[in-house]
Amino acid sequence: MNASPATVMPAPQADSKLTSSLLELSRNLDAGTLRYLSGFLAGVAAERDRAAGNDNPGGKPVADASAIARATVLYASQTGNGRRVAEKLHRQLESQGLAARLVNVADFKPRDLANEKLLYLVVSTHGDGDPPDDARAFVDFLTSRKAPRLEQLSYAVLALGDSSYPKFCETGRALDERLAALGATRRADRADCDVDYQTVAESWSGKALEIARERLQSPHIAMLSAPPAQQMAADRDAPVATEVLTRTLITARNSDHPVTHLELAAPDGRLTYQPGDAVGFWHHNPAKIVDRVIALVGADPDRPIAIDGREYSLRGWLTEHREITRLARPFLDAHTERANNSELNQLHADGKPDALRRLLRDWQPLDVLERFPARWSAGDLVRALRPLTPRLYSIASSRASVGDELHLTVAAVDYLRDGQQRLGAASHFLATPGRGETASVRAYIEPNPRFRLPADPTRDIIMIGPGTGVAPFRAFLQHRVESGARGRHWLFFGARHRFSDFLYQAEWLEARRNGTLQRLDVAFSRDQSEKVYVQHRIRSQGVELARWLENGAHVYVCGDAQRMAPDVHEALLDVLTRHTGRSRDTADEYLKELASERRYARDVY
Amino acid sequence: MTTADPTAPPSPIEKVKADSRFLRGSIAQSLLDPATGGLAEADTHLIKLHGSYQQDDRDIREERRLQKLEPAYSFMIRTRLPGGVCTPRQWLALDDLATRFANGSLRLTTRQAFQLHGVIKRDLKPTIAAMNAVLIDTIAACGDVNRNVLASANPLASQLHAVVHDWAVRLSEHLLPRTRAYHEIWLDGAPVAGGEQEPIYGPTYLPRKFKAAFVVPPVNDVDVFAQDLGFIAIAADANSTILDGFNVTAGGGLGATHGDAATYPRLADILGFITPDQLLAVAEAVVTTQRDRGDRSNRKHARLKYTIETLGLDEFRAEVERRAGSQFQPARPVSFLSNGDRFGWTQSIDGSLALTLRIPSGRIADRVGAPWRSGLRAIASVHTGTFRLTPNQNLIVAGISASARPAIESLIKQHALSLHETASPVRLDALACVALPTCPLAMAEAERYLPALVSEIEARLHAHRLDGIALGVRITGCPNGCARPYLAEVALVGKAPGRYNLHLGGDAAGQRLNKLYRENLDEAAVFAALDPLFARFATERLAQERFGDFLWRSQLI
Ligand code: SRM
Ligand SMILES: Cc1cc2nc3c(=O)[nH]c(=O)nc-3n(C[C@H](O)[C@H](O)[C@H](O)COP(=O)(O)OP(=O)(O)OC[C@H]3O[C@@H](n4cnc5c(N)ncnc54)[C@H](O)[C@@H]3O)c2cc1C
Ligand SMILES: Cc1cc2nc3c(=O)[nH]c(=O)nc-3n(C[C@H](O)[C@H](O)[C@H](O)COP(=O)(O)O)c2cc1C
Ligand code: SF4
């Protein structure tokens, strides 16, 4: 079909009168009702479409064979950064009248790639160079021999990553290459974002828009778009200042892994969350660390430094705008050059990837600055350090139970290196009472749709959350109890010592007593001579666990990504092979299937 | 007078016992539950009959509540040690357990037993097993059964002591629960298939704790009138070497509840005289009468003392005689001179030596300047006689040969174990119960406060030139009376942190209850109350007159 005006997306019969009466009407409705209405009206429309035999819901034009009707913005995101970028690009496309759909990779059938014409892929890297959980199936398919030729496809990839990981933006890089290898046409060079992804993402999105303008059919008439709703909910770029209501150490005094429980004010609308979501914080760096860095540079902390049109004092930069506790590759490279230290040079030389990886993971900028002295001017240092990034924490409460509060569970990062104290910036910021100005912190909600309670309240849930991984399960249980869910609950928890490190012990025991937590299996690694972890408990409870699974239970894993999550995964495979008669391969298939149904969900970090 | 309401439902503990399959409950499973340092609720009651109490560190209870952690649970283990006699080997074993599994101290109790505090759940079994390995068990050391049987520890009367001690052991064993639960749970004994019986107790044991004691006059160190069942040894001759029989007492008990007039301390009645061959039958008859007639609905009204009040002494005595199948003879005359210990070196009739050491509150620990635990361990390593725990929380090193004396003496010096030589009579005789931080029932400090309390009393006595007088002082953290405060001349009974009821007017030999003098006093008010009484005592007392007697004579209380 040709792109004649008639076939262009039929403009909704919207005249200015309708618009103004809609606006009038909407003025008296709150945001929640408006959101409800938008869904409701879409439903009504879909119903009419169906009744009219219109298989083109939404009234989008049917693509003609040669012209590209629509772009797809496909994202694979674990912690929401990629999703945000993709959403924004999608909004921009739409607002310019460029037809585009936004799809989460979890909802995308990899085989449909063969039908795509213009694909924007936004993908982050997790684990040790691994794809986000949702993207595993997609990546597996695309890298397998089953992948179709993609000559018809134009694409551009935006990779997100963190340069402190050795496999920086690995997934994006691999997919970018693979698409090309399959015959697709790369329309723009891949862009790799570090944790301060905005700048790179914006320039890439600009290119993406250009490409869309070039390649897409003439713009369709913009749909009635409500006047940009006032940004109610806080987000990463517009966090809300919120108050810390209580702050309690919830490990015993003799614990060598202190954990703090925080309760924050979470005004509805601004910080609305669901169980499974995380909260993000923009922290300030610890004054002690800032002072050390300043001392090492030997510069005047109050002298203003201007970079890219922003001006702060050195102290200001280091406190609020730069990462000084996380080491990134660009800084390390720059410092290596300046330090001209043989040990450091050696690390960079080929053949030492492991040492370099360890260095990036375990060392802080301060460690490098102290161990391998180099001359830095204040301005150069600030420029070389990467911008501050917010940190995420799993929400440990349910609104159904705590109302306008938000609870979290923060493990201290506080250790000695060469006899010097080292702190984790955000955890210290959150857990330390009485910091200067106020008790307020800048926060936003990071939704995690991959980590949701079953829609069916009669489903059983198995929660595996050692350490602070237990946080979202407190939210889960609160929510299910409050909502009267009849499904059963099973918690696996692990830590070093029961006496000192059993997070929320009293609550779990009470839940077990009152019958809302049907099973509680714990592994305290240092309470006996042999080390016991959750995966051991999973294996020893295999028979029952398999029964729950076969009965439709959802399984959730939260906490350490490095070792716990893979070990638990292995244990689950073992349980399935040992107790359900599956082979290793079918067990693996089964877990993948569960994962794609979101019945096996992980939130690991 | 109080009466039992026969229509009242049994107390919840009765059901726990009834459902316990002869004290097994789910203790074995509770021990294995890694999610908690405690036991399932029902098991916390049952484990008492195995000799252990679940406790928590009350000093950090609130802190842990805020930390959303369960209380800092640990267990107190109490031994069954009839008459308080143990061997050096047993001492060393217990001392070792104190370091390995407990809080590093041994506690000698007012019932001549050892307590370990702070044993965590997973160490319970190894600790109890290790005790049994040196032939010390903990069966029935607590709970609704006959508890550790007391016997006078008087070091002088060695022969009679030995005879009476034998009886204490026999009675203790006669009244032991027969269930194999203890062996199954703690000693890996094979499970019993069924058909178990408790011939004396029945499946619900007694309505309440039950305490028996043997005393050898004239020293009433066991405070026999505070016991449910007492046997006052009557010697056949003046030299006190041959046993004729016993005056039997029943219905003593001290526990009370603040503000509940239906609960009160009570001195035992004398039932009459029996000959030794009657003893086990009479004891069993008293126990089964209490088993069948005691109040099983209200635990505050369940001790034998209330059963006797309800039945009346005559009916009670008649029932005991019926059950025992023998009669009481009229009681023999006896007189008691003191209920304190005799400190220092003494020589027994058999010529061997004994050394009675003062152990304040029975707490044996190593402290700066007072390495008593090490000292006693050193003594135990060389000693060839026995140790005897006294009902006043002190320790007798008994059966020392003359040649061994110098070695022991030098160890005593080395380890500053010489309070018996240096302390004032007040300090030597004072008793304090355990109270905080382990006792869940404590309302105020006792053991930890005792040293300061005594110092202050000494200072006040000094101010009235009363230094060196004997004065019986006892303090407990609550009105349960574990240090038998209601028999003391001056007693502080805890009511709230830092606050005590002041009781005055006990005698020197445990034969008279004191009286509540003032309520709810803080330390300053205690001394404000005592000071004028000391002043009058200093000027008005008769020769040899004790403070408690003086108060009655002068009608000051
Ligand atoms: C250790 C000891 C006090 C001491 O400082 O030595 C003691 C300590 C406790 N007694 Fe006692 N009682 C001790 C002798 C006594 C005595 C004195 C005696 O028996 O000669 C009495 C008063 C006599 C009597 O029984 O009437 C005594 C009357 C109580 C009572 C009140 C009983 C009553 O009839 O009301 C309780 C509370 C209860 O049973 O409900 C109690 C309860 C307790 C408990 C177990 C608290 C509890 O029930 O949880 C205390 C443990 C504290 C701790 O942390 O160790 N204890 N208790 C004594 C251990 C004796 C033993 O080896 O068996
Ligand atoms: C989705 C998600 C959910 C999360 N939920 C939680 C939660 O519920 N509770 C929680 O406590 N954390 C949670 N985290 C982790 C959290 O976001 C932070 O990464 C963590 O608190 C450390 O940040 P920091 O700013 O304190 O440390 P940083 O300032 O980032 O410093 C960390 C640096 O210290 C060094 N270091 C040495 N030892 C350690 C160590 N043991 N841990 C970390 N760094 C170490 C490393 O060099 C590291 O780069 C979550 C993370 C994600 C992604
Ligand atoms: C547990 C974890 C592991 C990560 N591993 C890598 C990695 O191996 N390589 C990399 O470039 N980035 C890694 N990152 C950084 C993320 O890719 C980066 O934070 C990105 O902005 C996340 O985007 P998303 O929110 O869309 O998932 C990791 C992040 C986390 C939390
Ligand atoms: S008297 Fe009260 S406080 Fe003292 S040990 Fe006995 S029960 Fe505990």
* pLDDT(A57) > 80: no
SS3 state at A259:
strand
Which ligand minimizes its atom distance to the CA of B260? 1
Whether residue B69 lies within 8 A of chain A, CB to CB, comes out as yes
First-to-last C-alpha distance (Å) of chain B: 24
Residue A387 has pLDDT above 50, yes or no: yes
pLDDT value at residue A410: 98
Question: Cβ of A499 and B34 within 8 Å?
Answer: no
pLDDT tens for B338-385 read 999 999 999 987 789 999 999 999 999 999 999 999 999 999 999 999
Give the amino acid at A324: I
Q: Is the peptide bond before A353 cis (omega within 30 degrees of 0)?
A: no
Please indicate whether, in this complex, the C-beta atoms of B69 and A505 are within 8 angstroms of each other: yes
Residue B142 a catalytic site member: no
B391 Cβ contact partners less than 8 Å away, ≥ 6 residues apart: B84, B110, B111, B112, B150, B152, B153, B213, B221, B222, B223
The confidence score (pLDDT) of residue A226 equals: 35
pLDDT for res A30: 58
Asked if residues A393 and A279 have their Cβ atoms less than 8 Å apart, the reply is yes
| Residue A17, pLDDT score | 59
Convert A439-466 into a string of H (helix), E (strand) and C (coil).
CEEEEEEECCCCCCCCCCCCCCEEEECC
pLDDT at A7: 38
Query: Which H or E run includes B344?
Result: strand B344-347
Beta bridge partners of A73: A102, A120
Task: Return the residue whose CA atom lies nearest to atom 63 of ligand 1.
Answer: B111
Name the residue at shortest CA distance from atom 52 of ligand 1: B439
DSSP string computed for B57-124: -GGGHHHHHHTTPPP-EEEEEE-B-GGGEE-HHHHHHHHHHHHHTSSS-EEE-TTS-EEEEEE-HHHH
- Asked whether the beta carbons of A467 and A393 are under 8 A apart, the reply is no
Region for B413 from its dihedrals, namely left if φ exceeds 0, alpha if ψ lies in -120 to 50, beta otherwise: alpha
* Max Cα-Cα span within chain B: 72
**Ligand 2 and A122: CB distance under 6 A:** no
E-strand stretches of A291-358: 304-307, 310-313
**List of chain A residues whose C-beta atoms are within 8 Å of the C-beta of residue B65:** 506
Section A137-164 average pLDDT: 91
- pLDDT of res. A268: 83
List, in sequence order, every beta strand (DSSP E) within A283-423: 304-307, 310-313, 391-394, 405-411, 414-417, 420-423
Is B86 a residue of the active site?
A: no
CA distances from A46 to A49, A226, A320 (A): 5, 19, 48
Name which of B546, B432, B544 is nearest B484 in CA terms.
B432
Q: Where do the H-state alpha helices sit in B137-191? A: 158-174, 181-186
Q: Are A123 and A160 in contact (CB under 8 A)?
A: yes
Residue A555 buriedness (CB in 10 A; 0-12 / 13-18 / 19+): buried
Containing H/E element for B250? strand B243-250
Which is it for the CA torsion B343, B344, B350, B352, positive or negative? positive
- pLDDT computed for residue A23 by the predictor: 59
CA A159 to chain CA centroid, nearest Å: 14
- The pLDDT of residue B245 is 96
Chain A residues inside the 8 Å CB shell of B29: none
Q: ipTM value of the model?
A: 0.87
Query: Residue A418 has what pLDDT?
Result: 85
User: Which stretch of DSSP H or E encloses residue B56?
Assistant: strand B52-56
Q: Which residues of B465-493 are buried (b: 16+ CB within 10 A; e: fewer)?
A: ebeebbbbbbbbbbbbbbbbbbbbbbbbb
**Residue B459's closest CA among B526, B373, B382, B542?**
B526
Instruction: Evaluate whether B374 touches B366 at the Cβ level (below 8 Å).
Output: yes
| Cα–Cα distance measured from residue A320 to residue A324, given in angstroms and rounded to the nearest whole number | 10
- B89 Cα: distance to centroid of ligand 3 (angstroms): 64
Contact A73, A108 (CB under 8 A): no
The 10 Å Cβ neighbour count of residue A30 is 11
Taking CB atoms and an 8 Å limit, are A505 and B68 in contact across chains?
A: yes
Best mutation target, B30, B67, B74, to test chain A (most A CBs within 10 A)? B67
Query: pTM of the predicted model, to two decimals?
Result: 0.83
Contacts of A473 (CB under 8 A, 6+ apart): A463, A465, A491, A556, A558
Q: What DSSP state is assigned to residue B146?
A: B
Beta bridge mates, A383: none
User: What SS3 class is residue B389?
Assistant: strand
**Nearest chain B CA: its distance from A412 CA (Å):** 15
Q: Report CA-CA distances (Å) from A580 to A72, A590, A601.
A: 40, 11, 20
* Residue A248: closest C-alpha in chain B: B67
With beta carbons less than 8 A apart as the criterion, state whether A545 and A535 touch: no
Regarding the beta carbon of A411 and ligand 2, being less than 6 Å apart is answered: yes
Q: Which of B80, B107, B209, B484 is catalytic?
A: B209
pLDDT at B192: 81
Which three-class secondary structure state does DSSP give residue A110?
A: helix
Whether the CB-CB separation of A464 and A554 falls below 8 Å is answered with no
Q: How many CA atoms lie within 13 A of A140 on its CB side?
A: 11
Using omega within 30 degrees of 0 as the cis cutoff, is the peptide bond preceding B425 cis?
Answer: no
Is A66 a residue whose pLDDT tops 70? no
On chain A, the residues whose CB falls within 8 A of the CB of B36 are: 498, 505, 509
Within A96-150, residue ranges assigned H as helices are 136-143
Q: DSSP letters along A26-55, please?
A: HHTS-HHHHHHHHHHHHHHHHHHHHHTT--
Please give the DSSP secondary-structure letter assigned to residue A322: B
Residue A61 has pLDDT above 80, yes or no: no
pLDDT band for position A439 (cuts 50, 70, 90): low
Nearest residue on chain B to A493, judged by CA atoms? Answer: B35
What pLDDT, on a 0 to 100 scale, did the predictor assign at position A145? Answer: 82
Q: How far is CA A587 from CA A17, A109, A549, A576, A601, in A?
A: 60, 22, 12, 6, 16
Closest residue on chain B to A525 (Cα):
B34
Residue of B448, B377, B389, B376 whose CA lies nearest to B417: B376
Query: Do B540 and B516 meet the contact criterion of CB atoms below 8 Å apart?
Result: no
- Helix (H) / strand (E) element for B212: namely strand B212-215
> Is B70 touching A (CB cutoff 8 A)?
yes
> What's the rounded Cα separation, in Å, for the pair A136 and A76?
9
Choose among B245, B259, B177, B247: nearest CA to B210: B177
* pLDDT of A14: 45
Question: Mean per-residue pLDDT for A587-597?
Answer: 94
A324 lines ligand 2 (CB under 6 A): no
DSSP H or E segment with residue B462? helix B450-463
Beta strands at B473-476 and B490-496: parallel, antiparallel or unpaired: parallel
Enclosing H/E stretch for A401: helix A399-402
Compute the Cα dihedral for A360, A366, A372, A378 and give only its sign: positive
Res B327: pLDDT:
96
Residue B89 a catalytic site member: no
The pair phi, psi for residue A446, each rounded to 5°, is -110, 100
pLDDT band at A110 (very low <50, low <70, confident <90, very high): confident
Question: Which of these, A563, A571, A566, lies nearest to A587 by C-alpha position?
Answer: A571
Least confident of A237-246, A479-488, B452-461, B479-488: A237-246
User: What is the residue-level pLDDT of chain B in tens, covering all 557 positions?
Assistant: 445 566 789 999 999 999 999 999 999 999 999 999 999 999 999 999 999 999 999 999 999 999 999 999 999 999 999 999 999 999 999 999 999 999 999 999 999 999 999 999 999 999 999 999 999 999 999 999 999 999 999 777 667 888 999 999 999 999 999 999 999 999 999 888 777 899 999 999 999 999 999 999 999 999 999 999 999 999 887 666 789 999 999 999 999 998 899 999 999 999 999 999 999 999 999 999 999 999 999 999 999 999 999 999 999 999 999 999 999 999 999 999 999 999 999 998 778 999 999 999 999 999 999 999 999 999 999 999 999 999 999 999 999 999 999 999 999 999 999 999 999 999 999 999 999 999 999 999 999 999 999 999 999 999 999 999 999 999 999 999 999 999 999 999 999 999 999 999 999 999 999 999 999 999 999 999 999 999 999 999 999 999 999 999 999 99
Taking the C-alpha atoms of residue A216 and residue B423, their distance in angstroms, rounded to an integer, is: 102
**CA B15, CA B204: separation in Å to the nearest integer?**
8
